[in-house]
Structure 1
Amino acid sequence: MLGRRTSTWATALVLLAQSVPVLSLRITPGSPCEDVCHKHSSNTTASEIACLDREFTQTEKGSTFQQCVECGLRSSFHDTPTKQSDVEWSLYNLRYAFTSCVFGTPESVSNISTQCTVSCQQLDSALEFEIANPDGDNLDTWCGSNAFADNAISQCEQCYNMTDNQNYMSNFLEALRYNCHFRTPPTESFPISPARIFSESMLPSSTVNLLAPKSGKGVNLAVVIAIPILAFVIVVCALTVCCFFFVRHRRKKARQLREERELNRFHAGWGNHPHAHAHAHAFAQGQGQVPQDGYDAAAAVGMHHPYAYGSGAVGAGYGKPQAHVTETGVSVPVPVPGTVYAPEKEEKKEKEPVQG
C-alpha cells in the first residue's frame, strides 16, 4: 500500500515538473555567465525567448535573455576539449530566438503574424539546421548553406527594420551574418557591442573584419587633418618673407634713385668745377663740409644764397659774387673784391699834418 502511494506521488511530481516552464539559456560549462543564464536547466528553452522589443525591457524572461546574451558576447571564456565558447553559445541563443519567433521552430513562442515571415522564408533551412540538437561541432556549420545568402539576409533585415516593435530581430540576424563572414576566435569577445544588437537602430551590413589588425598603410586621420594646416602655415610664412624682401628692395631702389636725382641736380648747378663732384656727393649724402678755400666756399654756398661772404683769412674781403661764364658755357659764381676795412691806412692819415 505504501509503495503504491509513493509511486503515485513520484508520478505526480514528474508530471508537475513537466508542466512547469523550465527557465534556461545554454552557455559554456564553467562560464562566468552561468549564474545569469542557468535557472533550472542547461539547455535553451522556448519559455526564455522574447520576440517583441518591449519584452526585453518590460518582462523578466526578456530581461534575463538580454543579460545572458550580453554577458556571453562580452566573454572570452572557452572550453578547448569541447570546442565551445561563450560567444558561440550566445549567437546560438540569438538564432534560437529568431527561428522561434519567425518560423516557430523548434517551438512557436509568438502568434504574431507579419509579412516578414514570407520575406525571410528563404533563410529557413539554414537557420534551423540542428537547432534542437546543438553541440560544439555544429554551432556554425549552418553558415556554409547556400540558403544563407546575403541578398536574402538583407531583404529579411529590411523588412523587420520597418516593422514596429520588432527591430531587434533585424539586428539578431545581422550579428549571425557577421560571425559567418568573420569567425570570432574562441579567445576573443564578440566585436559588435551587445548594446548595438539590442537596439532599434539597424546594424550596418557586415563587410569588414572588426578584429583584423590595423594595416600600417592605413590613413591616419590626425595626419590628414594636420597636413593641410601645416601647408597653409608654410605658404603664409613664405609669402611673408617674400613680401618683406620685396618691400626692402623697393625702398632701397627708391633711395638710390633719390640720391641719383640729388647728384644730377648738384652737377647741373656746379658744372665742371674741379671739386664739384666731391662736394655734390658729400652734400647728397648729408655729410657736406664747408670748403676750406674761399672760392669753393663761395661756389658751394652761392647755389643757395644770393650773397656769399668769405670766411677766414683767405676769403676775407669778398663781397657779392658775380657770374662768370667759362669756356664750357657754364655760369660759375666768382667773388668780387669789396670794401675792406684797413686799420693801417687810418693810422697813416692821423699822422699826416693838417694843412692850413
Structure 2
Amino acid sequence: MTEEEASKFTDTVQGAFTGIGADLKIDNGSVVVVSPIKGSPADRAGLQPRDVLLTVNGDSLQGMTLGEAVAKIRGPKGTKAKLKVLRPGVNAPIELELVRDRIDLETVHGQIDKDGIGRLSINQFTFDTPKQFETELKALEEQGLKSLVIDVRNNPGGVLQAALLVAQTFVPEGKPLMYYEYRDGQKKPELSGGNEDGSKAYPIFVLVNKGSASAAEVLAGALKQSAGAVLVGETTYGKGVVQSSYDEELGDGSLVKLTISKWLLPDGTWIGKKGIEPDVPVTQPAYFLATKLPRDHELKLDSTGGEIENLQQILKGVGFPADREDGYFSKDTETAVKSFQRQHELGITGIVDEKTAEKLEATLYEQTLQNPDADTQWQAALRKAREKLGIAS
C-alpha cells in the first residue's frame, strides 16, 4: 500500500474512518464484499457478503488493487457512492445509492433483559475492542448476568489479537484458542491465558451468519470448541488465513500486508472457504436481504423482474404482504402498496415512486430490521438461553 492507502488502512483498524462501512477483498480481479458493518450505510442499503462491486459513481473497479478500490469507494461524510453490484444468483446487476458516513467507533454494544440474559454485539475487531468488551461485560455482570449471547453477525473481522483477547475471557487457561499452520506444515498453538477471576461459568451462545469472517470466526470457533459455547445462525464466511502488516520496516509511510499462515480451529480443522457450521441452524426471513429500491424510475402494475421481487419482500417485511413474491407486480401488489401509502399519508397511487421507496426502506429498517422480535436468529438464541436456565419462554 502507498502511504495514502496505508493511512486509510490504519484508520480502519483503529476503528475510525469515513466511508460506506464494508469489509472488502479482491477475488480474481473483482472487488468482493466480505461483510457490511452492522448499522453502516452498506448495511442499511442491503449490501450482502459475496456481492461483487462492479462500479462506483460510474467508475469501474475491475482490475484494481484493494487499496485503489477502497480509495475510490471512500469519501467525505454526506457524499454519495452509487454502486453497481453483481449478486450471486441474480441475473442483472443491482444499483445501490449509499451516503457515506463516519463509521461507529464503538465496536461493542451491550444490553440485558429481565431474565438476566445479556447480549454483546461486536461489529468489528479494532485495537480498542477488548477494552470495550471488558467494560460492557462488567456492566452486564453487575446487573445480574446469567447467560450471555455474543453477536458477531456481519462482523468482517479485523485485528486478530483483539479477538483472541476477547476469547480468553471465557476459555480456561492453557486451552487452545486456535492454531497457526505455516507453509512447511508446522503448527503452533495460541493458548488461552484465562481470565483473572475464573468466574465466567454462565452459558454462552454466539450468533453467526455468512458475514461473520476472519477474526470473528476465530472467536466463534474458540468459544465453541474450548469454552462450550453454542453457535446459532448460519454457516460463517470461511476466511482461514492470517495477515500481518509491515510498515515501520519500510520507513516511507507505505505498508505491506502479507499472508503469513493459515489458522485452524482448536481441533485442527481449517475452515478456509468452508466456514463454521452453527450448532443451531437458523436463517433470517428473506426481507432481511432486501436491497434499496430504485430512484430513477417507478415500479408499477405489470412490471416484472428482480426489483419487483425485492419490493414484494420489503412489503412483507413492513406488514403489507402481496399475494406473490415472484417478481410480477400484480393487482394485489398494487393494493398492498396503496395500503402502505395510506397508512403513511403518501399519495395513494399504487406506484412506488421516490417518496414511497424512501418510506418503505426507512420503515423496514427502523420497525423490522432493528426490531429484536423480528430477528429470528436472536429469538432462537434467546430461547436456547432460557431453556438452559430453565426459564419458560
The structure richer in helix per residue is 1
- TM-score strictly above 0.5: no
Could you say which structure has the higher strand fraction? 2
TM normalised by structure 2 equals 0.17
Which structure's CA Rg is the greater one?
A: 1
Q: RCO higher in 1 or 2 (8 Å CA, sep ≥ 6)?
A: 2
TM-score by length of 1: 0.19
